[in-house]
Each structure stands twice: as structure tokens, then as C-alpha cells.
Amino acid sequence: MPGGLQPLAQAAWQASPTGQRHNAAAQRYWEGILRTAEPRRFPPPAEVRTPRYWHAEFTSPALAHGVRALAARTGIDTSTTLLALYAAALNRVTGVDPVVIRPMVSNRFRPGLAEVVCTLAQAGLLSVPVAGAGVEELVERTRRVTMAAYKYAYFHHAGMQALVARVGAERGEPIELGCYFNDRRGPGRETDPVDPAVTGSVFRWVTAQDAPSFEPLFLHIDDVPGTLQISLYLDAAHLSPEAGEAMLRGMEELAT
């Protein structure tokens, strides 16, 4: 793909033989996960909470310290490390394994798309087997699957939606993919200082509402000086608020 690709040129590339080959490869990659993963990301909750949609914030210096130390030990970046902790904590609260997550992938990932003037963030798909892995081994497992997930996060949306629906129909159950991870930190995420004097984790519910709706589960990681902040959005028809809080605190515990 040429540098400085603009939206119309992007569409032309997608229609080209090279673009079509990439889309076909992405569909094969996705289909491999769709056919082997559990169709449900979350066990049905005992009750559907009202209001249904919940938003929380979790600020944790301990998580920031732990992630930085774990990344230093493994030599693997902090974003992948956080993704691994997310997978492990999700496994704890849901019991589902492997854990299937959709990481957000921006146009900054692929050479040739870095100069696109439109938003090109798309959600990829990855499957992380959690069973039998310590934290450092799980970080390595996550590293191995993220590169393919990022590579195949560029695809024709309508075609991929049709693939997900077809495989779900063939398996006899819709395949649930509403589990997202979005690291929104800036380019200094690996080197920004973490202040050891900042202590004390803070968890708080920001809103609980019936509309507008959220995806079943969405995690955003944000820059906060000296610490990490996670914004959690969940649909209580899929994951209870208590399980959502336990998942975030589980990430902190695993990191430390």
C-alpha cells in the first residue's frame, strides 16, 4: 500500500487483487477462531440488572507499577502485557477459555496507512488460551497471537459480518464477539514515568443507565500522570457490575 493513502485510494486498494487477497486471508484467520472458540463470551447472569448499562473508572498506581515491571521482565510491551492481564482476569470471572477479545487497531499499525487522514481504527480478533499459564507465560502467549490479530484487523466489514453469521448458523448458536480492548495511551506509553509516591487504587461507578446501550464489555486504557486509568463499560445482561469490578481488581492483583 502506498504511503499517504486517502479514503478513495484505500477503497481502490481494497478492491484490487492485493486487497482482495488480504481480505480473504483475514476471513480465513477469523474463521479459524470462530469455529473453535466458545460461542458465548460470558455465562448468563443470574439476573439482568436494571439499569442495564454501567460505566466505571479504575485508577491504579499498583497496576501501573506491576505492568511496567512485568513488561521489563518479559521484554514485551506494556500494551500486550495489559491485554494478557485482561484475558487472565476475564477467565477468572467468566470461566471461559480460551478468551476471545477484539483489540482496537489503528491505522498507525501498518506502514502505508500511517498518513491516512480519516479514522481507520478497526477491531481485530484474537484467542488466548489461559489454562495452565502463569502470568509471564500468558504474556508470551498473548504476544504470539496479537501480531496476527493486528495484521488481520483490516477487512471488508459486510463480508466479515456475513462470515460471523454463517459460522454461527452452522454451529447452531450466534457467536458473541462483544469483548473489546482499546489502549488509548500515547506514544510515550513505554517510557512515561510512573511516580512511586502515588499510591492507592480508586474504583468508582460513573454512570448506570438504560440508554444509550454499550457493547457487552469494553475496556479503555488511558494516560494519567504517574498511574493507569481503565474505563470499563459493560452490559449487565452479559456481565454483572460486581464481576466487572472483580475483573479490574483481578488485573491489578495479577500484575502485582
**Residues 160-217: tens digit of each pLDDT:** 999 999 999 999 999 999 999 999 998 777 766 666 666 789 999 999 999 999 999 9
1 inside domain: no
The pTM assigned to this predicted structure is 0.88
CA 220 to chain centre: 9
The torsion defined by the Cα of 163, 129, 221 and 23, in degrees rounded to 10, comes to -30
52 inside domain: yes
2 inside domain: no
172: left (phi over 0), alpha (psi -120 to 50) or beta: left
Grid coordinates representing 192 are 512515561
So what's the pLDDT on residue 24? 92
CA 41 to chain centre: 13
Grid coordinates representing 137 are 507465560
Number of domains in the chain: 1
CATH code, 242:
3.30.559.30
130 inside domain: yes
CA angle 70, 74, 80 (to 5 degrees): 70
Grid coordinates representing 147 are 501480531
Q: Which segment of 4-8, 114-118, 181-185, 212-216 scores lowest on mean pLDDT?
A: 114-118
192 inside domain: yes
Domain, as residue range, for 208: 7-255
26 inside domain: yes
Of 124, 112, 181, 187, the closest CA to residue 151 belongs to 124
Count Cβ neighbours within 10 Å for each residue of 4-31 and write b for 16 or more, e otherwise. Answer: ebeeeebeebbeeeebeebbeebbebbe
Q: HSE on the CB side for 2, CA within 13 Å?
A: 11
- List, for residues 53-69, the tens digit of each pLDDT value: 999 999 999 999 999 99
The torsion defined by the Cα of 167, 169, 170 and 175, in degrees rounded to 10, comes to 50
Phi and psi at 156, nearest 5°, equal -80, 115
207 inside domain: yes
CA angle 212, 213, 218 (to 5 degrees): 125
Q: How far apart are CA 57 and CA 245, in angstroms?
A: 9
DSSP tag of 60: -
Contact 142, 128 (CB under 8 A): yes
- Say whether pLDDT at 10 is over 80: no
167 inside domain: yes
- Say whether pLDDT at 11 is over 70: no
Q: How far apart are CA 211 and CA 218, in angstroms?
A: 16
Contact 101, 180 (CB under 8 A): yes
CA 238 to chain centre: 17
